[in-house]
Structure 1
Amino acid sequence: MDGILDRVLQRLASFGCTAPDEWAVQFCIEKVENHIKNQINRTEIPAELTEVWVDRTCGGDLSAAYASGKLDLESLDLTNAVQSVSEGDTSVTFATDASDSARLSVLISSLLTAGEEDLLCFRKLRW
C-alpha cells in the first residue's frame, strides 16, 4: 500500500515521536502487514484496514523502542492517554494520575490491539 510509511511517521509524530528509526519502522510495517494478511487469510490488505495497519505498526515501533531504551518518554505527549473505555452508555476514563510509563504502556497496548473487530470483518475462511 502506497504511503503507509508516511502515515506511520505522521502518526508517530502526533504522539511526539519525531525522530524514529526509519529502518525499525519499515520492519514493523512489514511485520504487521504479514500478521494482518495471516489473520484475514488474504494476499492484500483492504484499504479499509489502513488505519488498523498504521496503529498496530506504531504500537510495535513504540514498544520496541521503549524496550530497547531508545524512546525518550519526556518527548512524548501522553496527556490524553486513555485508561479505560466502556461501550454500554459510552464511558472514557483518562489516565491523569498515572505515571508516564503507565500511560505509555496503555497507549502501546491499545495501539497493538487496535481494530481487532475490523480484522474479523475482512477474514476469509481457510479450507
Structure 2
Amino acid sequence: MLTEVKERLHSLGISVSSEPSNVDEVIIKFSIEKVTNHIKNQTNLSEIPTGLKEIAIDMVVGEYLFSKKSMGLLNIDSLDFGLIEKQVQDGDTNVTFAVEASSTPEAQFNAFIQYLRHDEVDFIRYRVLIW
C-alpha cells in the first residue's frame, strides 16, 4: 500500500522523499497502520476488503496530510487551489461547487483533508458481526 499512497500523493502534487529514514516515510507508514487497524476494527475482518482499497489509500493520504499540517511541516501556501471553481454553467444548467465566498486556501485544504479521511458509511457493506 506504501507505493499506492506515494502515487496518490504525487498525483495531488505533493512530493514525498523516498529516503527510508525520512520523516515523511515514517508518517506514511504510521498512517497506513492506523487506517488499516481502523478499517479492520470497524469491519471485524482480518484484512481490508478489495472494495475498500481505494478508500483506505485516500484515508492514509488524509491522515498523512493532517499529521504534517498539525506538526507544522506542511506548507499549504505552496499548493495550488486555482483549479477549484465556484460555479460551472452549461446552457441553462448551473452547478456551484464552493458555497463560501470567503473560502481561504486553508479552508479549502481542510475540507479536502476531511473528504480524504472519509466517513465510515463505506464500511457498512463489509461489516461482519462477531459473537
Q: Same fold (TM over 0.5)?
A: yes
User: Which residue matches 2:81?
Assistant: 78
User: Which residue matches 1:126?
Assistant: 130
Q: What is the one-letter code of the residue matched to 2:26?
A: W
From 76, 96, 118, the counterpart of 1:113: 118
Deviation sequence 1:68-119 (CA, Å, 0-9, x none): 1100213324345599xxxxxxx661368511110111001111125x3321
TM normalised by structure 1 equals: 0.80
User: Which residue matches 2:10?
Assistant: 13
User: Which residue matches 1:101?
Assistant: 106
Mapped partners of 2:27, 2:80: distance in 1: 21
The answer (yes or no) to whether the contact 1:95–1:103 under 8 Å persists in 2 is no
Q: What is the one-letter code of the residue matched to 1:14?
A: S
Aligned length: 116
How far off is 1:13 after superposition?
1.5
2:48 paired with 1:51:
no
> Residues 65, 56 of structure 1: CA spacing in aligned structure 2 closer, same or farther, 3 A cutoff?
same
Note the residue ranges of structure 1 that are not aligned, 5 or more in a row: 84-90
Structure showing greater radius of gyration is 2
